[in-house]
Amino acid sequence: MRKYDAVIFDLDGVICSTDEYHYLAWKELADSLALPFDRQYNNKLRGVSRLESLNLILALGERQYSDEEKQAMAQKKNDTYRRLLEKMSPADVSDDVLSTLNELKRKYPLAIGSSSRNTKFILSRIGLADFFDAVIDGNDISASKPDPEVFLKAADALSQRPSSCLVVEDAAAGIEAAVRGGFDSAGIGDASRLDGAKYHIERLSDLLGIL
């Protein structure tokens, strides 16, 4: 008997890597504000929404900003980020990821559950715009990970209960969201060391030994 009826994937850090582009775009903004932002701090922003990420960066300094100023800064960062995303192509999906997705698609409904409002743009850049059965992203939710909303909506879109879905995540906020939503999860990358994840995987193809 199979353990799960569907799989929900985080996008950034699981299907493709956008970390460096997020970092470069936030770094440009942080430098303009003379804030000591580095790659290590950037890791804290994984899975976290754009505005919450900005708040974490602004917390590196003393100054308070109005909501309008924050909106303008988030917009500026996103403009830089979108320009960097233009560089992405299907070559940004590894052979391991692509072959695993194709194999799983033959047996399971598959969804994306991402905090990013750029999800659909990224999926189109990497050639997976029409691949998934459901895509729930930052535009569809009112609370970002670690709130489980994005995964609950993804399960619902696949007509599945949380306990029937496996969530695949690379971020602490995403593993926590899965736990809070009643999902089993597989942690990959940094999340492969997190306690909340039921499975710890090195590469996406390790899922084939679980599912």
Question: 170 is in the binding site of which of ligand BG6, Mg ion, none (Cβ under 5 to 8 A by kind)?
Answer: Mg ion
The strand pairing partners of 134, in sequence order, are: 111
Nearer to ligand BG6, 80 or 160 (CB): 80
Residues near ligand BG6 (CB under 6 A) are: 11-12, 22, 45-50, 53, 78, 114-118, 138, 171
Residue 128 amino acid letter: L
Question: Taking the mean position of all CA atoms in its chain, how far away is CA 96?
Answer: 18
d(CA 52, CA 93): 27
Nearer to Mg ion, 155 or 175 (CB): 175
d(CA 38, CA 15): 24
Whether 38 sits among the annotated catalytic residues: the reply is no
CA angle 10, 15, 19 (to 5 degrees): 85
Whether 12 sits among the annotated catalytic residues: the reply is yes
Nearer to ligand BG6, 74 or 98 (CB): 74
| Phi and psi torsions of 169, nearest 5° | -140, 150
Nearer to ligand BG6, 53 or 100 (CB): 53
Write out the two tokens for 189.
């990358």
Over the window 121 to 160, marking each residue x when it contacts Mg ion by CB under 5 A and - when it does not, the resulting string is ----------------------------------------
13: contact with Mg ion by CB under 5 A? yes
Measured in Å, how far apart are the chain's first and last C-alpha atoms?
10
Nearest distance, CB of residue 42 and ligand BG6, angstroms: 8
d(CA 12, CA 39): 16
171: contact with Mg ion by CB under 5 A? yes
d(CA 149, CA 143): 7
Nearest distance, CB of residue 114 and ligand BG6, angstroms: 5
Nearest distance, CB of residue 22 and ligand BG6, angstroms: 5
Catalytic residue numbers, as ranges: 10, 12
Would you tell me which residues interact with Mg ion (CB under 5 A)? 10, 12-13, 170-171
